[in-house]
Amino acid sequence: MIKNRVELTSPADMTPEQLEVYGRFPSNLTRSLLLTKGSAGPHLALGGSFTVGLISFLDREVLVMRVAKLLDSAFERLIHYPLAIKAGLTEAEIADIEGGHYTQMEPKRVALLVYVSECTLDHKASAEAFWALREYYSQNEVAEITHLAGHCAMTAMYLASLDVPLDASETSWDKLVARDPA
């Protein structure tokens, strides 16, 4: 018999505070984050903050799909594949993003993918990748791109290290998505 690395918090055993956090994003990710003392809510809020960030929905999903592939994160792919399709990517484009096949892509997307790949694999982008990205994005957008890639990588590492099982079905983002106050 294989023993689970961690036992996920059952909703039946959650405190009212934990249930409130779980209610925002009812998933195994949240159940596993609730094993920590106080980072579940902030982690989910950070993820939601990117939905009203500086980069477009399309660029955000391009980035996440690449990081998910590089880190073999089935969770990130499960959650973000439908969002990538909704953002306008085709299955062929997703396959090219995941496979690192850039020959048919516009230079802006190539710059994004090269930068994110270096950040993910080398934990630091080269000066060449940084300045190529800056041809298309402001410094604030590059900061957000870097932060989002790091958030995805942290989530992938957390889930993989604790061997958190995938959810049986897609989880709703409705209560997690940040709302632009404007």
| pLDDT 10s digits, 43-99 | 999 999 998 999 999 999 999 999 999 999 999 999 899 999 999 999 999 999 999
Return d(Cα 141, Cα 15) in angstroms, integer. Answer: 38
DSSP 168: S
- Residue type for position 104: Q
Query: How many CB atoms neighbour CB 41 within 10 A?
Result: 18
- What residue segments make up the domains of the chain, in order of their start? 15-49, 55-162
Q: Which CATH number fits domain 55-162: 1.20.1290.10, 3.30.70.260, 1.10.10.60, 3.40.309.10?
A: 1.20.1290.10
What is the pTM assigned to this prediction?
0.92
Q: What pLDDT is recorded for position 1?
A: 62
Judge whether residue 138 has pLDDT over 50.
yes
Q: What pLDDT is recorded for position 180?
A: 44
Mean pLDDT rounded to a whole number for the chain: 93
Phi first, then psi: what are they for 100, rounded to 5°?
70, 30
Return d(Cα 52, Cα 148) in angstroms, integer. Answer: 12
Q: What pLDDT is recorded for position 182?
A: 38
| pLDDT 10s digits, 9-25 | 899 999 999 999 999 99
Judge whether residue 32 has pLDDT over 80.
yes
Judge whether residue 175 has pLDDT over 80.
no
Return d(Cα 173, Cα 19) in angstroms, integer. Answer: 16
Mean pLDDT of 102-129: 98
Q: What pLDDT is recorded for position 12?
A: 96
Mean pLDDT of 174-181: 60
Placement of tokens 């477009």 in the chain = 56
**Concatenated DSSP letters for 134-166?**
HTTS-HHHHHHHHHHHHHHHHHHHHHHHHTPPP
**Cα→Cα distances 139→1, 14, 142, 159, Å:** 51, 42, 5, 30
